Chains A and B, each alone.
Chain A
């Protein structure tokens, strides 16, 4: 107590400086990648130890990506797959969550526990039978095959059930007076109230789908059906012969940008969503 009155200010700034140094080291590899994406391939072949933009810096890799490349095609695939996954997850989860959270029916508790049991089944443990099922249905190398398995995870239903359960009864009393159907209550009263939960669910679903590696790796065997995550992996290891290091780095930046932007915009929901996941 007494020490802090005298040397309080310099102590705080020493701690702040230390934290800033750690944070800068922490994000440095990502910055280095960004800087390399701005360097021509032949310069990078000689040295990757340039850490600041210089006279060699160029946007040519970005222009290359945008003027029609596999990367662009993969980005479009990722956008299609992610959009479909998010849309259908929100739809299925809010419908199911409304039933579990607001309606009474026999065996509700048993069914709920059974559904949540699905959380113990990771994609990594069922991708072999899933592969064989989608082979039987002749559905590999389609966008549907890439997003359908994701919809089965019970996390969304769990999240929406918790949220709907927490909404006070009074909100629907007025609507019930007007003899509104459950469908009307669901669409006109419950869904607008559930906006924060829906946004949180959308963010986490998008994050998971965009970055998913294993399932798209086994399901999409044709290059034109790769997602950006799988496509980038296919470049890795032999980029020197194919696209060059700078182009690969620019692809990585492209792959990360949408999801980083989303994080910056919806940061508040990410933070509260993570806290919610621990059951608090």
Chain B
């Protein structure tokens, strides 16, 4: 009897969240799958069931494949850069005292800015005419560089801006990880006269392994959803070389008005995200049992 009342009460507490969660997160997934099976235009009532035709078209669409390739390149540049820079900064800033706490805040502060502010600043820094770096190059007698307009270089530029923007979270994670390594191991290493690099390789890096895995997988998930940087800094150019998957979905939906086709691409993205999250989940539970 008491148990049944408790279950009822629990349901009362859960109902508001479950309702929102179901209607605005679960239903959209199924609705997206449903839309993806249609020729579905954004305005009017042009909605024809066409089965898997959108997926067949996606498979044959070079623009979609290019978007997947571009996004993969972006992830491949950004994730290692973020991880290494954050790790180096964490090692350098892992010291007590007000001085280091202020430095940590300076490196973290850029993470609270919005993507619009970040892209505004970095466009000013990198743009061809009157950009901060190109002005410096000019006064040094160096040739001008089209950081945002050269194929191959544009994606690297987006990546630099992104590292600057997102470094704060992984930095804090690594600092937290460093705090968890027992102090007495370092004391013992000191007694053994173990050098900086030996200590780093045999004590610090193994101690950070779990945190490193967490950073790499969460960063991968997040940068696979690249959108604002490429839309605002390069508009996907030059020659489509920075168009990301999310940008492809956005353009198909809101510039070509093909919601069905855009939904099919969303489903592909959802699949990738789901697999990545599953890997993260399996890794975290494995870490707990070990």
A100 to B40 CA separation, bound complex (whole angstroms): 40
| A130, CB-defined interface residue at 8 Å | yes
Q: Is the CB of A92 within 8 A of B20?
A: yes
The answer to whether B273 touches A19, judged by C-beta atoms less than 8 angstroms apart, is: no
Contact A233/B232 with A120-B274, A121-B270 known, Cβ cut-off 8 Å: yes
Report the separation of the CA atoms of residues A48 and B13 in the bound assembly, to the nearest whole angstrom.
56
Which residue in A115, A252, A280 is a CB contact (below 8 Å) of B120?
A252
Query: Nearest chain-B residue to A231 (Cβ)?
Result: B116
Residues of chain A lying within 8 A (CB to CB) of residue B14: 95-96, 99-100, 111
User: Which chain A residue shows the least CB distance to B107?
Assistant: A26
Closest-by-CB residue of A relative to B249 is A128
- Known contacts: A103-B13, A233-B232. The answer to whether A30 contacts B110 by CB under 8 A is yes
Could you tell me if A260 and B109 are in contact, using CB atoms closer than 8 angstroms?
yes
Name the distance in Å between A153's Cβ and chain B's nearest Cβ: 7
In the complex, which residues of chain B have a beta carbon less than 8 angstroms from the beta carbon of A95?
13-14, 16-17
Question: With the chains together, A207 CA to B99 CA distance in Å?
Answer: 26
Which residues of B are found within 8 Å of A229, using beta-carbon distances? 114-116
Binds B, one of A54-62, A170-178, A210-218: A210-218
Q: Which of A227-280 contact B (CB under 8 A)?
A: 228-230, 232-233, 236, 248-249, 252, 255-256, 259-260, 262-264, 267, 270-271, 274-275, 277-280
- Asked whether B28 lies within 8 Å of A129 as measured between CB atoms, the reply is yes
Q: How far is the CA of A151 from the CA of B22 in the complex (A)?
A: 11
**A125 touching B270 by the CB < 8 A rule?**
yes
Min CB distance, B282 to chain A, in Å?
12
> How many A residues, CB 8 Å from partner?
86
CB pair B270–A96 under 8 Å, yes or no, is no
Chain B residues positioned under 8 Å from A196 (CB to CB): none
A4 shortest CB reach to chain B, Å: 11
Q: Is A23 touching B124 in the complex (CB atoms < 8 A)?
A: no
B60 contacts chain A at the CB level, 8 A cutoff? no
A72 at the interface (CB under 8 A from B): no
Residue A93 interfacial (CB < 8 Å): yes
Q: When chains A and B are docked, how far (Å) is the Cα of A262 from the Cα of B122?
A: 24
Of the residues B25, B35, B40, contact of A118 by C-beta under 8 Å:
B25
| A232 CB contacts on chain B under 8 angstroms | 114, 116-117, 120
Task: Give the residues from 3 to 55 in chain A that come closer than 8 angstroms, CB to CB, to chain B.
Answer: 15-16, 19-20, 23, 26-27, 29-30, 32-33, 36, 47-49
Q: In the complex, A16→B112 CA distance in Å? A: 25
Q: Contact: A129 with B35, CB < 8 Å? A: yes
Complex interface: chain A residues within 8 A of B40 (CB): 132
Please tell me which one of the listed residues B106, B164, B269 contacts residue A124 in the complex, with CB atoms under 8 A apart.
B269
Give complex CA distance A148, B172 in Å: 30
Instruction: Compute how far the CA of A205 lies from the CA of B188 in the bound complex, rounded to whole angstroms.
Output: 43
Cβ of B63 < 8 Å from any Cβ of A?
no
* Partner among A36, A125, A233, A262 whose Cβ is within 8 Å of the Cβ of B269: A125
The B interface is mostly helix, strand or loop, or mixed, namely helix
Q: Is the CB of B273 within 8 A of A122?
A: yes
Which of B17, B105, B173, B249 neighbours the largest number of chain A CB atoms within 10 Å of its CB? B17
Is A63 an interface residue when CB atoms closer than 8 A count as contact? no
Distance (whole angstroms) from the CB of A278 to the closest CB of chain B: 5
Q: Report chain B residues within 8 Å CB of A75.
A: none
A132 to B42, CA, bound (A): 8
Chain B residue with Cβ nearest A20: B103
Q: Is B56 part of the binding interface, using a Cβ–Cβ cutoff of 8 Å?
A: no
How far in angstroms is the closest Cβ of chain B from A242?
Answer: 14
> Which residues of chain B come closer than 8 Å to A100, judged between CB atoms?
14
Q: How far is the CA of A232 from the CA of B40 in the complex (A)?
A: 31
Q: Say whether, besides A129-B263, A271-B172, A33 and B21 are in contact (CB < 8 Å).
A: no
Least distance between A53 CB and chain B CB atoms (Å): 18
Residue of B28, B99, B176, B190 with highest tally of chain A CB at under 10 A: B28
What 3 pairs across the A-B complex have the smallest Cβ distances?
A120-B277, A275-B176, A211-B114
Q: Residues on A close to B: CB < 8 A?
A: 1, 15-16, 19-20, 23, 26-27, 29-30, 32-33, 36, 47-49, 91-93, 95-96, 98-100, 103-106, 108, 111, 115, 118-122, 124-133, 148-149, 151-154, 157, 182, 186, 207, 210-211, 213-214, 218, 228-230, 232-233, 236, 248-249, 252, 255-256, 259-260, 262-264, 267, 270-271, 274-275, 277-280
Known: A108-B10, A275-B172. 9 other contacts (CB 8 A): A19-B92, A27-B106, A29-B122, A33-B121, A91-B16, A96-B18, A103-B13, A229-B114, A249-B120
Interface positions of B (Cβ within 8 A of A): 3, 6-7, 9-11, 13-14, 16-18, 20-21, 23-29, 31-32, 35, 40, 92-93, 99, 103, 105-110, 112-117, 119-125, 130, 132, 135, 164, 169, 172-173, 176-177, 180, 190, 193, 211, 214, 221, 225, 227-228, 232, 246, 249-250, 253-254, 259, 262-263, 266-267, 269-270, 273-274, 276-278, 284
